[in-house]
Amino acid sequence: MKFKMKSKLFLFPILTALLLAILPVIDYAESEEYIIAEEHIYPIEIKNVGGIQYVSLQRITDILNSRLIYDEDKNSYTYKFENRQATLAPGKSLISVEGRLEFISQKTIQDDDDILVPVEFLTKIIPLIHKQPVQYNVASRAYVYGDAADPYNLTVNTLPKPTFLRLIIQAKNSIPFKVSRDNKEITVVFSKKIILLPFSEKKFADDIIESVSFSQQRDSTEMQINLRAEPRDVKSYQFKDPFRLVIDFMRIAPTESAETPTGDPARANDYSGAPNWLESNDVKTIVIDPGHGGTNEGAIGVNGLKEKDVTLQIAQNLKGIIEQNIAGVKVVLTRTSDIDASIQARTEIANHNKADLFVSIHCNGSVNRNARGAEVFILSGEASDDATRVVAELENQADGSSAQSSAQARVPHSPLTPILWELAQNEYLRESALLAEQMQAELNQLLDTSERGVKQAPFKILTGAIMPAVLVEVAFITNPKEENDLRNEVYQAAIAKAIYRSILRFQSMREQKNSTGFNTNDEDQ
């Protein structure tokens, strides 16, 4: 009994090997993969012969507009594309490419009128004949022919945080898109057909996102995000270089009061929870906002100096210094002449220009003529003290459309943002604070006000800015000495230089942080 079993086991592999040798084509299992060429998807049958994946050379020929010629006398096939060719024979692993011999790891197989080649042929031989790269994409199970097949290289990643879940869709080139929401379903329609998808469907273990799936339409691509639970809020941002669509799903906070995004003074100085990995290391665009303008004159000194004129002069000065000293940085002013501009329009200029920094320049005013020095502010829901509240109220009045609540503000082409407009700056508070601290320190040194620190107040100009943003009151125009100083071009230049130095300090501190643990590329699992 035992002996018999042994002999059977012994014979089995030999029989299998014999069968494979005699009738190799019968024994294959088929599966479907794809060739992606010229932005089309072509299914190909993959035939598994003895663990080796084969594909029909005739099918490749049809897809890639090449020719396959059988030479009966020599029992060989010639694969031709343009003026180049490869010659191969059934049962051989040697292929003549333009007269040079190339090996593929497995032998070709005759299959009726066709010849089967190992899939390796696609990545090894086709590039030699077509002068085009061919790469295998695991997620799409596709052989990608040429460069043009994948202009986007779309990736989807998540970044889970205690207070929110961030979904990051990144692509090599920008893709126009529209976002819509229907309760627990969020649909992003990309108005381009994305040929190579990162996946067709992916399930998430997160308590907010259940799954993300893609479907290709004729000329567009739809991404469907199915939510497991209704998030407290949803907001989306777009970034360039590289293109990123970022969607934040705010979690329901365990203790609602501690998580109120604006308006909780207890949280006012805690920037630690704000993610700031989104920014690239380099500051490329700075938007400077000269406060007030036109009919809105701002504060006026006892000797008649107007805030709107000083802010424009300092802003222009600052623009000159930055552009002279930092190569490749673009500086945009929200106004370059004495015109009216709404607060919302100014923030939108910063957002529209994808500014990396936003600096709103003002001059302080006080009934106390002795009040002096510079004050740098970042946003919060509540003012840090009464004096600060007054400053914010005064500056907020500057808006021509001050009756409009900030919640009504609209960011064009960004359907999710209206509800979340008010929270936009919250994401950047930590970096805003870092910039403000540097600026306050530089100005303290210049103005000899060593004790002064950064303050927070509900400035409307900062509310909708989706980048680090500060408002600086460079001096008190209502203080006769400072009014006199502010009139002086040398003094204006000194203030501009101090602000410029603070930007440099901010940049170098951010670089240090980025090199010690800031994660800019979190992969989800």
Task: Compute the distance between CA of residue 341 and CA of residue 269 in angstroms, rounded to an integer.
Answer: 31
Cβ at position 312, least distance to Zn ion in Å: 12
Total residues found in the chain within this entry? 525
494-513 residues near Zn ion, rule: CB under 5 A = none
Helix (H) or strand (E) segment spanning residue 397: helix 386-397
SS3 content of the chain, % helix, strand, coil (to 5): 30, 30, 40
> What track of x and - describes contact with Zn ion for positions 358 through 387 (by CB under 5 A)?
----x-------------------------
Dihedral over Cα of 475, 479, 484, 487: its sign = positive
Residue 144 vs 310, nearer CB to Zn ion: 310
Helix, strand or coil for residue 387? helix
- Told to check if 306 binds Zn ion by CB under 5 A, we report no
Task: Compute the distance between CA of residue 231 and CA of residue 166 in angstroms, rounded to an integer.
Answer: 12
Cβ at position 180, least distance to Zn ion in Å: 39
Q: What would the 3-class secondary structure string for 298-342 be? A: CCECCCCCEHHHHHHHHHHHHHHHHHHHCCCCEEEECCCCCCCCC
Residue 395 vs 482, nearer CB to Zn ion: 395
Residue 130 vs 460, nearer CB to Zn ion: 460
Residue 120 vs 482, nearer CB to Zn ion: 482
Residue 194 vs 474, nearer CB to Zn ion: 474
- How distant, in Å, are the alpha carbons of 178, 426, 454 from that of 384? 39, 16, 10
For residue 236, give the nearest of 249, 220, 223, 253 by alpha carbon.
249
Cβ at position 195, least distance to Zn ion in Å: 52
Structure tokens at 343: 């607060």
- Told to check if 308 binds Zn ion by CB under 5 A, we report no
Cβ at position 308, least distance to Zn ion in Å: 8
**Total of residues contacting Zn ion (CB under 5 A):** 4
Cβ at position 396, least distance to Zn ion in Å: 10
Q: What would the 3-class secondary structure string for 48-89 be? A: EECCEEEEEHHHHHHHCCCEEEEECCCCEEEEEECCEEEEEC
329-348 residues near Zn ion, rule: CB under 5 A = none
The residue nearest Zn ion at its CB is 362
Cβ at position 405, least distance to Zn ion in Å: 20
**From 146, 231, 261, 298, residue interacting with Zn ion (rule: CB under 5 A):** 298
- Told to check if 291 binds Zn ion by CB under 5 A, we report yes
Residue 283 vs 461, nearer CB to Zn ion: 461
Residue 152 vs 377, nearer CB to Zn ion: 377
Number of H helices, E strands in the chain: 12, 27
> What track of x and - describes contact with Zn ion for positions 394 through 433 (by CB under 5 A)?
-x--------------------------------------
Structure tokens at 49: 């012969």
Residue 117 vs 398, nearer CB to Zn ion: 398
Cβ at position 364, least distance to Zn ion in Å: 8
Structure tokens at 187: 């649909």
Task: Compute the distance between CA of residue 96 and CA of residue 260 in angstroms, rounded to an integer.
Answer: 70
> Residue 463: what residue type?
T
Cβ at position 450, least distance to Zn ion in Å: 24
Residue 146 vs 365, nearer CB to Zn ion: 365
Cβ at position 346, least distance to Zn ion in Å: 12
Interacting residues toward Zn ion by CB under 5 A:
291, 298, 362, 395
